[in-house]
Amino acid sequence: MRVLWTSPHCRPDWLDRLGEESQGGQSVVMNKLPHALTRGDPGVRVDIFTRLQDSDPHAADCKSLDGNPRVRLIRLSCGPTDRYVPKEFLYGEPIAEFVEHILAFAARDGLHYDLLHGHYADGWEVVTSLKARWPHHPPTLLTTHSLGRRKRRDALERGEGTMEELDHRYNFPVRIASEERSLAAVDRILPLSTPEAEFLATYYEAVPPGDSRVTVIPNGIDLADFPPASPGTRFRIRSSLDVADSEFLLVVPSRVDPRKGQENILRALVEARPALASHSSCPELVLSPSTSLRINSVEGQSRRACPEQSRRRVRLLLLAWPEPPTDYAIRLRQLTTEQGLDDCVLTHPPVPHEHMPGYFAAADGIALPSQEYFSIVMLEAMLLECPLIASIHGGSRDVITDGANGFLVDHNDVAQLAQAVVRLVEMDETARRDMGRQARRTILGGYTWDQIARRLLTIYRGLAHSLKGGNV
C-alpha cells in the first residue's frame, strides 16, 4: 500500500527546531506516525510531500526520512522559493502549482498512490485536488490539526483583533472556504479529539451531525524519545534555574504565543496569591508582590530568604521564551511587573525536544492553559508522571479525568485556573505522585504511536477495500 501524505507548510525533519514559526506538534505527528505505520505493516510506503524553500538547511528533492527507506520526504515548489510565505496564504495559486509538481513527480517515477492523506487545511486542499485529477480517484483522508472557524472564534474571544483584522492577518475567509470544499469531497475525516469532532458537526456545513466519515484519531507519543530523566537531572536543572528544592516549580512548556495562554496563567497566579499566602508563615515566599525586581531569566535571579518555610513557594517557568522578545512577550513582562510577580516568574529560551524530559523532571507540575486540539506536550508530561493542568475544551478532555490523572479547567476562566493551581500546590507529595503514575498508565494504555498507527491502519485497509472493491 502506497500512501501519499502532505501538508505543504510542515517540515517533519525539523524536530530540532520545534517552537519556531509553524514548527509545533504537527511536525512531530508527521515525523513519528509514518514510521509507526511502516512498523505496523512493512508493506506500507509513505511519501510525504512538503514545500521547497531555497533557505531550507535540509533541502533535498527526495530523501528517506530519518533513514527509513519506507518513508520518503519530497520537497517541491509551492509558491516562491526565495522567501517565506505564511501557511495562511498558500491556498489557491501556490497549492495549484504544488499539485502540478506532485502530478509530474508521480508520472515521472510511475507512482500509483492507493490513499491520499492530507494534514491541516493546506494539505486538505492538495489531496482533494489530486483526487479529482487522478483517473483512479484514490480515497482521501483529512487530519484536522486546526480549524479555521475555531481559530478565528478563539482569537476573537482572546481579543487579538476585530473580525476584519483577523481575517486580514490569517486569511480566514479563503481558508474556511477551502476547508468546506475539502470536507465535502473526502472519504474520511479524522479530528484529533471529541471536542474537535463536535465543532466540525456544529460549525461546518459539509459535516452534518452523525457523519459516518468522522473518526477521532488522537496524537501519540514515542516512548523511546521520552525515557525518564537520569538520576540527578532534577537537581541539576533546578540549580541552573536557581530554584530551590523546597520551592514548587510550575512549568508552561509551550511556545510564547497568545494562543498558548501564558497571560492567563500569570493572571491566575495573581488570583491564587491570597489563598497560597494564607498558608504560609513567610508570605514573601509565596507569590510575593514586589515591584523592585525585574522579570527573572535563567542567567540571573534575585532571591529572597526566610528562615521559616512552612509553605512551598511557587515559581513559574515559561519555556521557549523568544529573543528578541515578541510583542506578546513584552506584554507578559509588563504584566509580570505590574502584578508584582517579578520574583517568581522565570523565562528560558526554547529547549531542544530531546532535552525536554529533564525539564519535566525538574517540574512539580505542568500547566497547559490553552485550547489544544490534541497536545503532544500533554502526552509527554503524562508519560513522565507530571501532574498537569489542561483545558477541558481541547483534546485533554479525552485523556484526563479531572482529579485522577490531572486537572481540567476552562482555560479562559482565570478563577478556575487559579483554583487548579492552588489544588495542585496543596496536594501532598504522595497524592501528586499517585496522580503522575495514573497519568503514565493512561498514556501507556492507548497513546503510543504504535497503538495510534494500528488504529489508522485499520481505517486505511477498510477504506481501500470498500472503495476499491478489494484488498490493497
Element (H, E) at 314: strand 314-318
Alpha-carbon dihedral angle through residues 409, 412, 415, 421, given to the nearest 10 degrees: 50
Axis-axis angle for helices 262-277, 327-338 (nearest 10): 10
Which runs of E-coded beta strand occur in 181-241? Answer: 188-190
- Do 291 and 209 lie in a common domain? no
- Is the domain of 126 the same as that of 210? yes
pLDDT at 294: 35
Return the residue matching grid coordinates 503514565: 440
**Region for residue 371 given its phi and psi (left: phi exceeds 0; alpha: psi -120 to 50; beta: otherwise):** beta
Residues 172 and 305 in one domain: no
- The per-residue pLDDT for 14 is 78
The reply to whether 207 and 229 lie within a common domain is no
φ/ψ (deg, to 5) at 115:
-140, 150
How far is Cα 466 from Cα 135, in angstroms, rounded to an integer? 18
The structure's pTM equals 0.83
Residue pair 111/83 in contact by the 8 Å Cβ criterion: no
pLDDT tens for residues 7-20?
999 988 877 666 55
* Spatial CA neighbour of 32 closest among 272, 263, 219, 161: 219
Tell me: do 197 and 291 sit in the same domain.
no
Residues 427 and 453 occupy one common structural domain: no
Residues 412 and 300 in one domain: yes
Is the CB of residue 421 less than 8 Å from the CB of residue 367? yes
Identify whether residues 212 and 230 lie together within a single domain: no
The C-alpha atoms of residue 302 and residue 317 are separated, in whole angstroms, by 15
The answer to whether the beta carbons of residues 253 and 403 sit under 8 Å apart is no
DSSP-derived pairing of the beta strands 62-65 and 68-76: antiparallel
CA–CA separation, 306 vs 179, rounded Å? 57
Q: Is 345 left (phi over 0), alpha (psi -120 to 50) or beta?
A: beta
Q: In whole angstroms, how large is the CA radius of gyration of the chain?
A: 23
CA-nearest of 172, 44, 217, 50 to 114 is 44
Of 84, 71, 69, 51, the closest CA to residue 4 belongs to 71
pLDDT of residue 18: 63
In angstroms, rounded to a whole number, what is the distance separating the alpha carbons of residues 376 and 225? 12
What domain range includes position 282? 224-444
Number of domains in the chain: 2
Task: Give the chain's residues under pLDDT 50.
Answer: 280-310, 470-472
| 433 shares its domain with 456 | no
87 and 170 Cβ atoms separated by less than 8 Å: no
pLDDT digits (tens, 9 = 90+) for 419-461: 999 999 999 999 999 999 999 999 999 999 999 999 999 999 9
Residues 384 and 459 in one domain: no
Round to whole Å and give the CA distance between 191 and 145.
Answer: 7
Q: Are 84 and 172 members of one domain?
A: yes
Give burial (CB, 10 Å; 0-12/13-18/19+) of 5: buried
> DSSP strand E in 120-159: where?
140-143
Query: Looking at the structure, do residues 243 and 376 belong to the same domain, yes or no?
Result: yes
* CATH number of the domain to which 236 belongs: 3.40.50.2000
